[in-house]
Structure 1
Amino acid sequence: MTRTYLPGILAMAAVVVASNILVQFLFGNWLTWGAFTYPVAFLVTDVTNRVYGVGPARKVVLAGFVVGVICSLIGTQIMGEFGPLVTLRIALASGLAFLLAQLSDVAIFARLRGGKWWRAPLASTLIGSSLDTAIFFTVAFSGALSFIEPANDVSWAGEMLPLLGVGPISPLWVSLAVADWLVKLSLALLALVPFRLIVARLTSARPANA
């Protein structure tokens, strides 16, 4: 049975690896290129959930988590301009955000799967994405959690600036989080099209007794 949803596992692994690489490259003032690839993880999870069920979807999530941990371990050994590419806070934030957000997505999708076709993927992705952003940026950059890794100076993320350059004064990391969240929400809507097409393709290709 694992071979049946192996493409989902491989797709999730590819998304996680690509996002870990692309997060190193800036896109404008508030985003990295990884912000545009990572949300595809929710599409992979939701397609697996719709076609194969909750159990396989959780296995795909677990595979993505393991790949993410490996990427983080590799990142801690690569030195950038300001130190290791991945710090303890970044690794912890990334792992927690991915696992909790994706498992929430799976659970919410399962609860809503009996409704209109778009309801489960949209609601689960919106909620999961929001949770992902909140957990990652808070754990990684909030000054209140500096005790996690005292030697890691993230004071730059606390610089007080207008939100996204135009809003009320807030820490820089909040602007980064809001920009990331807006991208995720936009892609959650756009992902409904490939979700519908991929699910239809996979469902029609499955044997009747599968």
Structure 2
Amino acid sequence: MKTLLGSELRIAHRIYLVLAALFICSLVVSNLIFQKFFYWNPLGLFNFEISVGLLPYPITFLITDLVSEIYGRRKANDLVLAGIFASFFSLGIIYVANAAPATGFSPIQDDTFTRVFGATAIAVISSMLAYLFAQFVDIQIYHFWKRLTKGKMLWLRNNASTVFSQFVDTMCVLLLLCFNEVIAWEQFWPLLGAGFLFKVLVALIDTPFLYLGVYVFRNIFKLEIGQEIKID
């Protein structure tokens, strides 16, 4: 653990705040847009039918892996807790907005607003329960592999932690949504397979970005392989 002082400490704090902002934004937005589903067929190999809420979601796992690698487990856990608080806070705002009656000249009337955001409460609660478990699993597995490889083989701990935790997240949130009748049970296995495969693909794609981020951090703060920084 490297203790920073002066300008280096201020830079580290600012970068952490930027990462936290991106993390929270990605998490909250994913819960707001989840009801739209789309299809994607890369190179004609497989037809994904998944929620657009999955598009920003993998970003959260990339950021927690980056924070875990540079700032350590505790700061990564702090990020997760902040994201959960922000999600429930946004849920409260949506609840109040949904309860407020629309005026006659409002472009969006009550029925339209309720149709778009009406299932958000169940979705957010279901997503948060699954997400809380999956993110902490991701952080624990990441640091397990980091200790085991003595800070080397970054690609292994990134993908091993993300792939397993993404499967846990996808399965848990779909189970909760099916139990609450937000989606039909016959959609469970197709959505589980497509969602998990999509997340595995994204996990492989984001590995170079993690390497780039770690490389930049190590050069800015002159860190050795596996070394973390302390910003408290």
Unaligned runs of 5+ in 1: 147-153, 159-170
Report which stretch shifted further, 23-32 or 55-64: 23-32
* Counterpart residue number, 1:109: 142
Aligned-residue offset at 1:16: 1.1
Greater CA radius of gyration, 1 or 2? 2
2:174 alignment partner, one of 129, 137, 141: 137
* Counterpart residue number, 2:60: 41
Change (3 A) 1:18 1:113: same
SS at match of 1:118: helix
Deviations 1:102-156 (A, max 9, x none): 01111111111142121111111011101101110101113xxx5xxxxxxx275
1:191 alignment partner, one of 206, 209, 218: 206
Distance 2:173 2:20 in 1: 23
Aligned letter for 1:118?
Answer: W
RMSD between superposed Cα atoms in Å: 2.4
* Counterpart residue number, 2:119: 85
Q: Which has the higher contact order (CA 8 A, sep 6+)?
A: 2
Aligned-residue offset at 1:82: 7.5
* Counterpart residue number, 1:157: 184
Aligned-residue offset at 1:197: 0.3
Change (3 A) 1:155 1:203: closer
Q: What TM-score do the two structures reach when normalised by structure 1?
A: 0.79
Q: What TM-score do the two structures reach when normalised by structure 2?
A: 0.72
Q: Identity of aligned pairs, percent?
A: 24
Distance 1:72 1:98 in 2: 15
Task: Decide whether the 8 Å contact of 1:109 with 1:124 is kept in 2.
Answer: yes
Task: Decide whether the 8 Å contact of 2:91 with 2:124 is kept in 1.
Answer: yes
SS at match of 1:24: coil
Task: Decide whether the 8 Å contact of 1:8 with 1:60 is kept in 2.
Answer: no
Distance 1:83 1:68 in 2: 14
* Counterpart residue number, 2:30: 19
Distance 2:118 2:49 in 1: 21
Unaligned runs of 5+ in 2: 1-8, 40-47, 99-112
Deviating 4+ runs (over 6 angstroms): none
Distance 2:25 2:117 in 1: 26
Distance 1:101 1:202 in 2: 26
